[in-house]
A and B are shown apart, each in its own frame.
Chain A
Amino acid sequence: MAGLSQRLWGVEFQSPVLLASGTCGYGAEYDGLIPLDDLGGIVTKAVSLEPRPGNLPHRVAETPGGMINAIGLQNVGLKRFRDEKLPWLDEHLTKAHVLVNVVGHTVEEFSTVVAGLDDATGFLGYEINVSCPNVKGGTLFGTDAKALSELVRRVRQTTARPVIVKLTPNVPDIAVYARVCEDAGADGLSTINTFPGMLIDVEARRPVIGNVSGGVSGPAILPMGIYLTWRAAQAVEIPVIGIGGIRTAFDALQYVLAGASLVQIGTALFVDPNAAVDVQRGMAAHLESQGVAHLSDLVGAVELPNHA
């Protein structure tokens, strides 16, 4: 699948397909079930400075063409991540790249987590999570351009590793936030995180999700993800990672044509653990059948009509 490789941030991604944060744990959960090291990479569950307990159940439920979740960033915290989770990734992933998803309540917390991980081995860079809809203040940085700029600048100063910012779709114009990140020194963007949503149990007259609201993901959000990825990619020069509802190679290729250099697969993994492997195989087959030598020839190659 040579045509799928992408060179970004000074390294080679053997495939453009990564597993999305929150859907692949810390990697080890998939050991023996799917060939993780054959993928482009994985993005870990969010890591905060201290362990977080997470939200009350129910935390997940099915929605039409997808799911809603409000996990609440339950995670083991910086120390245990570094001591117990990162070594597994370091040992087992030699070709696939690891991005560590980082979350915090304050600029200081983000910066402390990054500083606390930076000299460890086993990962390439960071995905800065400013877009979680399920915790108080989770989208604070993602919806305030000034705060976002300050955060990205600070993280940029803390590390020489790639800094990718995961944006929320819940803003009037994602292009504005994309440019803010680029101007503040981000190396890339992940678009998009989940959409805020709610389900109600009619008989019980109560919200289905313990947190009341949650984030909606899955095929239902595919067209919004493609559009917002296209908007963001139009606005910046830095690479964009397309996320949202991908379950087939053609879904992923739409993101690529919209301007994504890489893609992430999340909810589809729950339906079929082979989803990511199947998508990358399908992408390679498409390149071959279309006589496209390299995936990068398709990045942003959507042809708009003359009247657009």
Chain B
Amino acid sequence: MSTPCRLPARVLSNQRAGADTYWLEIDAPPIAQAAVPGQFVMIGFGLGRLDAPFLPRPFSVGWRGDDGRIGLLVRRFGTGTHRLAALRPGDEVLLLGPLGRGFRWEQDSPLICIAGGVGLAPFLFMAPEAIRHGATVEILYGERTGDRVFDPQLVEKLTGIQPRLYTEDGSRGQIGRVIDGIERGRRIQLFGCGPTPMLRALERLAREEDLPLQVSVEEHMGCGIGTCQGCVVRSVAGEWIKSCTEGPVFRREELSWRD
């Protein structure tokens, strides 16, 4: 893990990619060069203003361009994300990253990426990287409602593959939960990012099928670098471990999955 970099950076574009859903591209060459899939950045606005978000927020590095751009998938649901959704080209943000431990994979079996909602983000970065190295990658992407679906054409443009889409209301893609799309009895590597109930269901499936699984977790975060100890999750040994530095990606065996 390289030393993270504090980087004032300019927004290059911010496009609406679904209801309350935005694709934000930022000019951040040092972060783009150093990042690996599954790592994240803290994005904030510095100390000049006190309105929300005052604290920076963690976002998966959603993609990187050869020209030093990084992409973040932003969903608007509170005052903090509202301000991120409203960013315009030329606006300045303060980034810290890349942070945390990313996904690791083998090339010898298909990578099945299970994405719930904005949990799609790390796979937009991981899929093209893994494919470039010769891996077979599928993205199974679920949303509760069709209007919030992140533009599948944009997914294809960024990753080179089409996601298999699931919505709970059945208004787009197949009706049902993303987890129902996992084919059993096949040697695959599972990767998950999304709401906790989805990750729990995924862990159960991986355990039953004896499949390797890595998940990217999300917890309220303060610093992003391990100092505040705010973002903890429970380890299999019963200890609170920091999702920012020990994660955000964990192998399923590393975490406690009890309620």
Q: Do A and B bind each other?
A: yes
A29 lies within 8 A of B225 (CB): yes
Q: Which of A252-308 contact B (CB under 8 A)?
A: 268-275, 278
The listed residue with most A CB atoms (<10 A of its CB), out of B219, B223, B224, B226, is B223
Interchain CA distance A65-B53 in the complex, whole Å: 9
B-binding segment of A19-27, A85-93, A109-117: A19-27
Given contacts A33-B3, A33-B6, A272-B47, contact A23 B227 (CB under 8 A): yes
A270 lies within 8 A of B223 (CB): yes
Q: What A residues does B152 contact at CB under 8 A? A: none
B6 lies within 8 A of A57 (CB): no
B254 interface contact, C-beta 8 A: no
Given contacts A271-B55, A272-B47, contact A23 B228 (CB under 8 A): yes
B168-182 vs A, Cβ < 8 Å mask (1 yes, 0 no): 000000000000000
A71 interface contact, C-beta 8 A: yes
A-binding segment of B33-41, B100-108, B232-240: B232-240
Given contacts A62-B53, A219-B50, contact A274 B6 (CB under 8 A): yes
> Considering only CB atoms and an 8 Å cut-off, how many residues of chain A contact the other chain?
38
Q: What A residues does B96 contact at CB under 8 A? A: 273
Q: What B residues does A268 contact at CB under 8 A? A: 47
Q: What A residues does B228 contact at CB under 8 A? A: 22-23, 60, 69, 71, 270
Given contacts A69-B230, A270-B55, contact A61 B240 (CB under 8 A): no
The listed residue with most B CB atoms (<10 A of its CB), out of A23, A54, A59, is A59
Pick from A29, A57, A62, A272: contact of B227, CB below 8 A: A29
B229 lies within 8 A of A59 (CB): yes
Q: Which of B160-213 contact A (CB under 8 A)?
A: none
Query: How many residue pairs, one in A and one in B, have C-beta atoms under 8 Å apart?
Result: 107
A30 lies within 8 A of B47 (CB): no
A158 interface contact, C-beta 8 A: no
Q: What B residues does A31 contact at CB under 8 A? A: 3
* Interface, chain A (partner B; CB < 8 A): 22-25, 29-33, 45, 53-54, 57-62, 64-67, 69, 71, 74, 218-219, 247-248, 268-275, 278
**A–B complex contacts, Cβ < 8 Å, 11 sampled:** A25-B229, A29-B226, A29-B227, A29-B245, A33-B3, A62-B80, A64-B50, A64-B52, A67-B222, A270-B56, A272-B94
Besides A69-B228, A218-B54, A268-B47, 12 other A-B contacts (C-beta < 8 A):
A22-B227, A23-B228, A25-B225, A33-B3, A53-B239, A54-B240, A59-B220, A60-B228, A66-B54, A74-B232, A74-B240, A270-B224
